[in-house]
Amino acid sequence: MSNEGRVGVDESGKGDFFGPLVIAACYVGPEHLAELDGVKDSKKLTDAQAIKFAAIIKRTCPHKVLTVMPPKYNELYAKIGNLNKLLAWGHAQAIEEVLMQQPAKTVISDQFQAGGHIVKSKLKELGRQAEFISRVRAEADLAVAAASILARAEFLWRLKQLSEEMGIELPKGATNVIPTGKRLVASHGPDALAKVAKMHFKTAKEVLGG
Q: What tens digit of pLDDT does each residue of 105-148 get?
A: 999 987 764 456 677 777 777 777 888 888 777 778 999 999 99
82: helix, strand or coil: coil
pLDDT of residue 2: 52
Question: For the whole model, what pTM was predicted?
Answer: 0.93
* pLDDT tens, position by position, 146-189: 999 999 999 999 999 999 999 999 999 998 999 999 999 999 99
Q: What is the average pLDDT across 77-101?
A: 92
Write down the CATH superfamily of domain 6-162. Ribonuclease H-like superfamily/Ribonuclease H (3.30.420.10)
Strands (E), 49-130: 63-68, 106-110
Burial 170-200 (b: 16+ CB within 10 A, else e): bbbeeeebeebbeebbeebeeebbeebbbbe
Strands (E), the chain: 6-12, 21-28, 63-68, 106-110, 131-135
Mean pLDDT for the chain? 91
The structural domains of the chain, with segments of one domain joined by +, span 6-162, 166-207
Give the whole-angstrom CA distance, residue 41 versus residue 127. 24
Of 71-80, 84-93, 106-115, the one with minimum mean pLDDT is: 106-115
